[in-house]
A and B are shown apart, each in its own frame.
Chain A
Amino acid sequence: MSLTAAEWTIVALSLKVSVVAVLVTLPVSYGLAWLIARRRFPGRMLLDALVHLPLVLPPVVTGWLLLILLGRGGAIGGWLYDTFGITLVFNWTGAAVAAGVMALPLMVRAMRLSIEAVDRRLVGAARTLGATPLRAFLTITLPLSLPGIAAGAMLGFARSLGEFGATITFAANIEGETRTLPLAIYSQLQVPGSEDAVARLAVIAIVLSLGALLASEWLVRRSQGARAHVL
């Protein structure tokens, strides 16, 4: 199976959008995961629920919310445009933002589970040995939750690759700019006689997603035993 130049563009764009989405979301997810796993504060349950919201909300609603917040006329988007001249809507960075937001709940979940699996008493032991809270975090909690970070990143990557609803709503379906694999498949489906093109793109999507999912399962099992699951 060989891909046409246009198809390669789609695959490359999808990978770029997903990689950037995961890289940007990663530190945010880990921070949220740590807060939810380790801190007790008023509003913790609300924060947990908000983080999970993109998982249960219709993606088109998430996309619409992003449009309201980050669009040029939006509260944050307007400020970004006025201050830095940055526009997120209708370009690939917008697609990455949409994918990142949709991937966030899955990433936070995987990381939270692995942070919770780190015995807090080990952190206490590190403190008695002279470590400040930051050092104890960097030398104990962070390395021991690394498998969860990797699994969360893989899962987020797979989720980003498949992102459709929020992306098409927020970033639109622009060839070479925001037309990732799912959007390209959707566009091809509108064209009569393009069954082969659809099938090829679908196979690529299946292979990439399955690969990312298997990789994250493998990472979790390797570190937390054969019966652990990331999903």
Chain B
Amino acid sequence: MFFEIAIDMAVDDHAFTLDFSSDAKLTALVGPSGVGKTSSLNAIAGLLRPRSGRIVVDGQVLFDSAGGVDLPPEKRRAGYVFQDARLFPHKRVAANLAYGERLAPAGASIVTRDEVARLLEISHLLDRLPATLSGGEARRVAIGRALLCAPRFLLLDEPLASLDEDRAETLLTLMERLRDELSLPMLLVSHSSAEVHRLAGRVVKLA
């Protein structure tokens, strides 16, 4: 199993449970706005603590309230692509890309910086500051930064939202390649049924 997740969440005043197992390479998490999709990704990444439950990804226990396991985010090694890109504003694109790469365990990398720059077409952006990037450019850099930290799995939060059609198509193709060429479990949050239909081997509804 790639994902075995059964958690009880309480975020602000909203309580919900997420319970699924999936052995699909790419699992999509869908549901109406505000239902807790992003919170679920945060919990899996270790940024939010579930009230109780168990999170196992690719055989590794990341969180288990009964067993007293709660790995900090830096030990979980999630490649998390945030919806808002969340690039470091004081670092140039090259430094953003290198941030996680430098901290990755030796020999664990799944792609090189050159490959990332070529795949995502961001070679010409390396000297720029995030504030000068368009939404699509920032998104691509964020994906590159996540891939370079030698992740054990990927969390993608609306990676194609608010991109124009051409850009979305390019990224969609790229995500298909990532799905097929890397053996990384991927969890995708999306509102687009077309995107989900095309990428996901398994769809989990959160309601």
Contacts and interface: CB of A to CB of B under 8 A. Distances in A.
A128 B86 CA distance: 12
Given A129-B100, A130-B103, A130-B149, A124 B88 contact: no
A159 B74 CA distance: 42
B72 interface: yes
Interface in A121-164: 121-122, 124-133, 135, 139-140, 143-144
B104 A124 contact: no
B104 A130 contact: yes
Given A124-B47, A126-B99, A131 B74 contact: yes
A128 B156 CA distance: 13
Nearest to B73: A127
A42 B193 CA distance: 47
Given A121-B82, A132-B74, A127 B46 contact: yes
Contacts of A140: 88
B111 to A, nearest CB: 15
A144 B88 CA distance: 9
A128 B88 contact: no
Given A122-B86, A143-B90, A127 B149 contact: no
A125 to B, nearest CB: 4
B149 A125 contact: no
For chain A, which range describes its interface: under 10, 10 to 19, 20 to 34, or 35 or more residues? 10 to 19
B104 to A, nearest CB: 6
B77 interface: yes
B82 to A, nearest CB: 6
B48 to A, nearest CB: 9
A12 to B, nearest CB: 37
Nearest to A136: B74
A129 B149 contact: yes
A128 B89 contact: no
A124 B46 CA distance: 9
A43 to B, nearest CB: 24
Contacts of A139: 88, 99
Given A122-B86, A128-B78, A129-B100, 13 more contacts: A121-B82, A124-B45, A125-B86, A128-B47, A128-B80, A129-B99, A129-B103, A129-B145, A129-B149, A130-B103, A130-B104, A135-B103, A139-B88
Interface of A: 119, 121-122, 124-133, 135, 139-140, 143-144
